[in-house]
Chain A
Amino acid sequence: MKGYNFAYLDEQTKRMIRRALLKAVAIPGHQVPFGSREMPLPYGWGTGGIQVTAAVLGEADVLKVIDQGADDTTNAVSIRRFFGRTAGVATTTHTTEATVIQTRHRIPEVALREDQIIVYQVPQPEPLSKLEPSRAETRRMHGLAEYGAMHVKLYEDITRFGHVAISYDYPVMVNGRYLMAPSPIPAFDNPKMHMMPALQLFGAGREQRIYAVPPWTAVRSLDFEDHPFRTTRAPHACGLCGAADSYLDEVVTDDRGGRLFVCSDTDFCEGRRAAGHLGSEAGAETGTDMAAE
C-alpha cells in the first residue's frame, strides 16, 4: 500500500464518484455523468468498473473479480491484484464470501445477498446508441420515456430471424421507467437482475457514465406480448460438474472437432465438483490435466 492512497484513487475523486453513485441509486437506470479518471489499465478493460469499486471499497470488504464468469482470466487476476496491492483488502474467488464483486459480462450463478454489491464494467452505457447517434436526442428520449424505437429493433429481429436475436446486452426497463443497457451480460443473466437483493452499480469509464439498480428493483427485459422474453443456453450439461442449468462456455479441445461445454462461472463449477457432482468429462479433462498436456 506504500505510495498509494487507499484503493488507488484520491479521496476527492472517490467523493465525486460517490456523489454520482448516490444520484444513480436515487434514479434507477438513469445515466449520471461523472469525471472519469485515467486508470492504469486500457479502456475496455474495466476502467469504469474499477473506479466504482475503488469508490465503494472499505477496509473490511472482501473483493471478488470475474471476467466472463471466470476468476482466473487476465482481466480478473490483474484487477484483483491491483486492489490487493493498493487497498490491502482481502480477495476471494468464492461468490458467497465476497462483499464486493466486480464483473465483466456475467452475473454469478449463485444468488447474491443483501449485504453484497455487484459492480459491472460497461463499454456502452447508452442502450439507444445503435438506433440514434445523437446523444442530445437520446437524452431527450430518456427524459420523455420515448422508447418506441427500441421496439422497432426487436420487431426487425423477429421479422428477420423469427425471434429476438439479441444474445447479450439485452435492453431492460428499470423500475418501469428508464431503458437501460445491462452491460454485455448474456440475456441468460437478465432475469437475475430482477428484484436482486444486492446493490447493482454500473461504471462506464470511457463514456463517463455511472448508473445503478437499487436492491429489490423491478428489471424487465423488453419483449412483445406474443413473443415473450426467453433465455437461451447451450443444450448441454457442464462437462466437469454436470450442471444442467448454468451458463456454458464452449471450449475447443482439439483440431478434430472436439468440444467441451463447461460452466462459465468457475467458482460455481468448482463448488459443485467439491460437493461431489461430476460431469461426463470430469477426470479426463480437469483444469490440472489440461495444464499438464
Chain B
Amino acid sequence: MADETLLSARGLSLSFGAIPALVGVDADLWPGEVLAVVGESGSGKTTLLNVLSGRMAPHSGVTWYRDPEGVLHDVHAMPMPALRALHRSDWGFVHQNPRDSLRMGVTAGGNVGERLMAQGMRHYGRIRAEAIDWLRQVEIDADRVDHLPRTFSGGMLQRLQIARTLVTHPRLVFMDEPTGGLDVSVQARLLDLIRGLVARLDIAVVLVTHDLAVARLLAHRIMVMQRGVVVETGLTDQVLDDPQHPYTQLLVSSVLQA
C-alpha cells in the first residue's frame, strides 16, 4: 500500500530564524483521503501546508508527488513551470480568505472559468456552461453567474472559491481553514458541501484547521502538531476519542461543549 501514496513527505524541517516551524515531519496521503492537520496557532500547520504544496521550500526533507501516470516527482526539486502547471490542473488551493484567490473585479463565471481558460479551453459557451454547472454544485443560483463577487456573502464567496478550485477536477486539494471566519450555520452547510464534493469526486485533501469539529466531520485521518512536531497521528475517531499524547488530550478536553 505504501508505494501507492499520492503525496508523501519525509523529514521535513524548516525554521524561521531560531523558531522551529517544522521538525522532522513525515506525512502520507493516499488518493481520495482527507487528512486533517490540527494544532494551536503557531504550531506550524499552515507552514506544513505551504511546504507540501511546494509554495515554500523546506531546509531539509523531501516531498514526493505521484502523477496520474504513476511517475514520482520531487515537489521541491520540480522546475517552476511544472509546479505551476500542477497548481493549475491537478492541484487546488483553498485559502482561508476567499478574497486572496478570487478576482474581485471579475464576475463569478469568469472566476470559475479562469482555470479552464488557463488550461487552454477557448470556447466561451462551454466555459460558461461549465461555470454555471459548478455554481449549481456549490449551491449558488445560476443567475448569479454574471454578478461580481463583492455582491456575495462570506459563505458564498468561500463556495465560489471552492467551485473555482474544483472546476478542473483536481486530484489533490490543499485547504487552509476553509471554514474560518464564517458563522456557525454557514460553516455547517459548507462542511456538508465539502464532504459531499470530496466523496463524490474522490479528491484527496490536506486540510488545515484548528477546529476539531471540522476535522471530525471531514477527515479520515488526523495529524496533531505542536511547535512544529507531529505529536500524534491516526484515524480521526481513534485520535479524538482516545487521545494518547498529553497535548492531544489537552486539545480534545478544551473543546467547548455547547
What residues of chain A have their CB less than 8 Å away from a CB belonging to chain B?
144, 146, 148-149, 151-152, 155-156, 158-160, 223-227
What's the A-B contact tally at a CB cutoff of 8 Å? 51
What residues of chain B have their CB less than 8 Å away from a CB belonging to chain A?
80-81, 84, 88, 103, 106-107, 109-110, 113-115, 117-119, 122-125, 127-128, 146
Whether A155 contacts B81 by the Cβ 8 Å rule is: no
In the bound complex, residues from chain A placing their C-beta under 8 Å from that of B84 are: 144, 146
Whether B123 contacts A159 by the Cβ 8 Å rule is: no
Show 13 A/B contacts (Cβ-Cβ < 8 Å), sorted by A. A144-B81, A144-B84, A148-B119, A152-B114, A155-B110, A155-B117, A158-B124, A159-B110, A160-B107, A223-B122, A225-B123, A225-B124, A226-B123
| Interface SS of chain B | helix
Whether B107 contacts A226 by the Cβ 8 Å rule is: no
Report the minimum CB–CB distance from B77 to chain A (whole Å).
18
- Known interface pairs A148-B117, A160-B146; 5 further A-B residue pairs with C-beta atoms within 8 A, sorted by A's residue number: A148-B114, A155-B110, A159-B110, A159-B128, A224-B122
In the bound complex, residues from chain B placing their C-beta under 8 Å from that of A156 are: 106-107, 110
In the bound complex, residues from chain B placing their C-beta under 8 Å from that of A148 are: 88, 114-115, 117-119
**CA gap between A227 and B128 in the complex, in Å:** 13
**CA gap between A225 and B80 in the complex, in Å:** 30
**CA gap between A192 and B194 in the complex, in Å:** 51
Q: Which residue of B lies closest to A147 (CB)?
A: B118
**CA gap between A225 and B128 in the complex, in Å:** 13
In the bound complex, residues from chain A placing their C-beta under 8 Å from that of B118 are: 146, 148-149
In the bound complex, residues from chain B placing their C-beta under 8 Å from that of A144 are: 80-81, 84
Interface hub of B84, B110, B119, B146 (most chain A Cβ within 10 A): B110
**CA gap between A158 and B110 in the complex, in Å:** 10
Given A152-B103, A152-B110, A225-B122, answer yes or no on A159-B117 (Cβ-Cβ < 8 Å). Answer: no
Given A159-B146, A225-B122, answer yes or no on A151-B117 (Cβ-Cβ < 8 Å). Answer: yes
| Interface SS of chain A | helix
Given A144-B84, A146-B118, A152-B103, answer yes or no on A224-B123 (Cβ-Cβ < 8 Å). Answer: yes
Report the minimum CB–CB distance from A140 to chain B (whole Å).
8
Q: Which residue of B lies closest to A223 (CB)?
A: B122
**CA gap between A238 and B117 in the complex, in Å:** 40
Given A144-B84, A148-B114, A148-B118, answer yes or no on A155-B124 (Cβ-Cβ < 8 Å). Answer: yes
**CA gap between A156 and B109 in the complex, in Å:** 9
Whether B114 contacts A159 by the Cβ 8 Å rule is: no
In the bound complex, residues from chain A placing their C-beta under 8 Å from that of B109 are: 155, 159
In the bound complex, residues from chain A placing their C-beta under 8 Å from that of B106 are: 152, 156
**CA gap between A226 and B80 in the complex, in Å:** 33
Interface hub of B80, B106, B128 (most chain A Cβ within 10 A): B106
**CA gap between A290 and B114 in the complex, in Å:** 52
Report the minimum CB–CB distance from B13 to chain A (whole Å).
28
In the bound complex, residues from chain B placing their C-beta under 8 Å from that of A224 are: 122-124
Whether B127 contacts A155 by the Cβ 8 Å rule is: yes
**CA gap between A8 and B80 in the complex, in Å:** 45
Whether A227 contacts B114 by the Cβ 8 Å rule is: no
In the bound complex, residues from chain A placing their C-beta under 8 Å from that of B110 are: 152, 155-156, 159
Interface hub of B88, B117, B123 (most chain A Cβ within 10 A): B117
Report the minimum CB–CB distance from B118 to chain A (whole Å).
3
In the bound complex, residues from chain A placing their C-beta under 8 Å from that of B146 are: 159-160
**CA gap between A84 and B117 in the complex, in Å:** 49
Whether B114 contacts A149 by the Cβ 8 Å rule is: yes
Report the minimum CB–CB distance from B151 to chain A (whole Å).
15
**CA gap between A149 and B84 in the complex, in Å:** 14
Q: Which residue of A lies closest to B81 (CB)?
A: A144
**CA gap between A149 and B111 in the complex, in Å:** 10
Q: Which residue of B lies closest to A224 (CB)?
A: B124
Whether B124 contacts A226 by the Cβ 8 Å rule is: yes
Give the top 9 A-B pairs by smallest Cβ distance, nearest first: A148-B118, A151-B117, A224-B124, A148-B117, A225-B123, A144-B81, A155-B110, A226-B125, A156-B110
**CA gap between A257 and B114 in the complex, in Å:** 44
Q: Which residue of B lies closest to A158 (CB)?
A: B124
**CA gap between A152 and B115 in the complex, in Å:** 9
In the bound complex, residues from chain B placing their C-beta under 8 Å from that of A160 are: 107, 146
